[in-house]
Structure 1
């Protein structure tokens, strides 16, 4: 292999998920998480976004209508990650989830970021997170980033709503 490196400005554009029930998926992604519906394809597919982008998440039932969730111990998507701009924004969505009694599967401090983990109604894993500013990241002597998984202090996170 040659030493090609993807350009630093490259971003992951969107994720497209197979869902069993489009209405249920839209209730979660649009109703609970707050994404805007940008396009509907009848009762089979929808695109949702933040901030007027054409779509961040595609949802469809083309091959999955009324299907059971994917097996947790099989191959496939581990989770899709949704990056929030600030810690306060992460606190706001955490508060929405908490008030809706929506279950989390985890909440972690990774040093470089803080993250909430949950499954959508179809069992697709999601990470809702914010990145700490790069000047707060820690590095090993060889230049690699120090990352870890510690419990996230949810009281501190919800305290962002008081600021």
Structure 2
């Protein structure tokens, strides 16, 4: 194994394509609940994202998603620009769905909210903390999974 390799910080992940059984319902979910814009809607597919950035492509497949025990996507992750944006998204989710998210984790470098879409695909909505505040010990980045202070997150939400 190579020591001290770090992937370039400008690296990103492109579009995630999901096979879905109910294309209209899933398109509405990703628009109204997640907050993505419908960028293109063609026969058997929908493309969603923000501005010109394509984030999720939904492809209709009558058999839908693979069996839960099959190998596949664990979750897709959507990075928000700030903790205030994360709080704003959580307020939107609660007011729109009337329910709470499935889980949350304070990973010391980020705070993340976890949920499943209508067909069971995992989604992580998260915000990184400023890099200059990330904890290191003996030159290694420290991470954990701690409780998120949900009331404080909502209180600090963008208006």
With normalisation by structure 2, the TM-score equals 0.88
Matches within 5 A, 1:18-37: 18-37=19-38
Query: Gaps (5+ residues) in structure 2?
Result: none
Say if 1:24 and 1:74 are closer, same or farther in 2 by CA, change over 3 A: same
Trace 1:58-69 onto structure 2 (pairs within 5 A). 58-61=57-60, 64-65=61-62, 67=64, 69=65
2:56 maps to: 57
* Structure 2 equivalent of residue 140 of structure 1: 137
Greater percentage in strand = 2
8 Å contact kept, 2:104–2:147: yes
**TM-align CA RMSD:** 2.2
Contact 1:83 1:129 survives alignment (8 Å): yes
**What CA distance in whole angstroms lies between the structure 2 residues aligned with 1:65 and 1:160?**
42
Q: CA deviation at 1:9?
A: 1.9
Q: Is the 8 A contact 2:77 2:125 kept in 1?
A: yes
Pair 140,72 (structure 1): closer, same or farther in 2 beyond 3 Å: farther
Kindly indicate whether the alpha-carbon contact (under 8 Å) linking 1:119 and 1:125 is maintained by their aligned counterparts in 2. yes
Instruction: From 60, 76, 79, give the equivalent of 1:83.
Output: 79
The equivalent residue for 2:89 is 93
The equivalent of 1:41 in structure 2 is 42
Structure 1 70/16 Cα, relative in aligned 2: closer, same or farther at 3 Å? Answer: same
1:55–1:148 distance in 2 versus 1, CA, 3 Å: same
8 Å contact kept, 2:84–2:158: no
Is 1:119–2:116 an aligned residue pair? yes
Structure 1 partner of 2:147 = 151
- List, as ranges, runs of 4+ consecutive aligned residues in structure 1 with deviation greater than 4 Å: 1-6
Aligned residues: 157
